[in-house]
Amino acid sequence: MSTGFSFEAEPAQDLIDYIVGIESGSWLDTLRRGRNVLRDNAQQSAALLLNPEQDGSFSRTERLAVASFVAGLHGEQDIYHLYLGLLERSGEGGALSAAIRQFVRDGRTRGPYGAYPKGALSTEDLNGLVFDVSAEKIGKRLSVALKHAHLLVYHPRDASAGALEALQKAGWSETAIVTLSQLVSFLTFQVRIIHGLTVLRHAGPAVGQGLPESTP
C-alpha cells in the first residue's frame, strides 16, 4: 500500500476509499455514496482523531503511533502500513516506526481474553497474553498508552479503574484518556469497514461494470 494518502491533500482524499481502492464512479463508490452521511462521518472522525487542528495533550505523533499499533494488532496490512507511513512522515515519528513494528510482532495474539463477573458467564473466562510494552525506546507515556490499547483490543473484559490510573500516573489527562479510548474504538470500526469493503470489491462486478439492474 502506497503511503501517498494525506489528510491535507487537495482535492480531499477519503481514507477508506483510498485504502480499499474505490474508484470514483465505480459500483462500490455508488454503494458508499448511497450512505453519504455514514461515509462523511467516518472520514470526519478519522480527521478529528488523527489529524486534529489542535491536538492538546495527545499529540498527532502519539495518535499515529497508537493507530499503527492497533491496526497492526488487527492484522489489516494496508491500513497498518498507511498509518506507519503517516507516522514516519510526521515530525517526530520516524524513530518510532521500528519500535511499533516490533511491538506488533510481539503483541499480536487471538482473544478476546478476560474474566466476567462471577456468574453464569464465568465458564467463558479465558486467559491470554497480557502485553507489557517496553518504555526503553518510546518513553513511559506512550508505552502505557500502547499497553492500554492492547488491553482494549484483546482484554476488553479486563478494563478497570486501575488501567485508567496507570495512564494518569504516566501523565495522561482525563480528556486525553477519553480521546485515546475513542481512537482505539474508532480504529476497530474502521478496520472492519475496510475489510468488508475489500471483500466486496473482490467479489463484485468487474471494473467498468455497474450493479445489475433490479427486476420488478
Model confidence pLDDT, tens digit, residues 16-55: 999 999 998 888 999 999 999 999 999 999 999 999 988 8
C-alpha cell read off for 177: 484518556
pTM of the complete model = 0.88
Overall residue count recorded for the chain in this entry: 216
Count other C-beta atoms under 10 Å from residue 71's C-beta. Answer: 25
Looking at the predicted structure, is the pLDDT value of residue 77 above 90? yes
Residue 24: Cβ-neighbour burial (10 angstroms; 0-12, 13-18, 19+): exposed
Confidence tier at 130 by pLDDT (50, 70, 90) = confident
Helix 60-74 and helix 77-89, axial crossing angle in degrees, nearest 10: 160
The residue extents of the domains of the chain are 15-112+186-203
Confidence tier at 4 by pLDDT (50, 70, 90) = confident
Q: Looking at per-residue confidence, does 36 or 94 come out higher?
A: 36
Q: How far apart are CA 37 and CA 112, in angstroms?
A: 31
Q: How far apart are CA 186 and CA 25, in angstroms?
A: 27
Torsion angle defined by CA atoms of residues 8, 10, 13 and 18, in that order, rounded to the nearest 10 degrees: -100
The residue type at 49? L
What residues contact residue 64 under an 8 Å CB cut-off, 6+ apart? 50, 83, 86, 87, 90, 93
User: Which region among 16-20, 26-30, 69-73, 209-213 has the lowest average model confidence (pLDDT)?
Assistant: 209-213
**Strand, helix or coil for residue 14:** coil
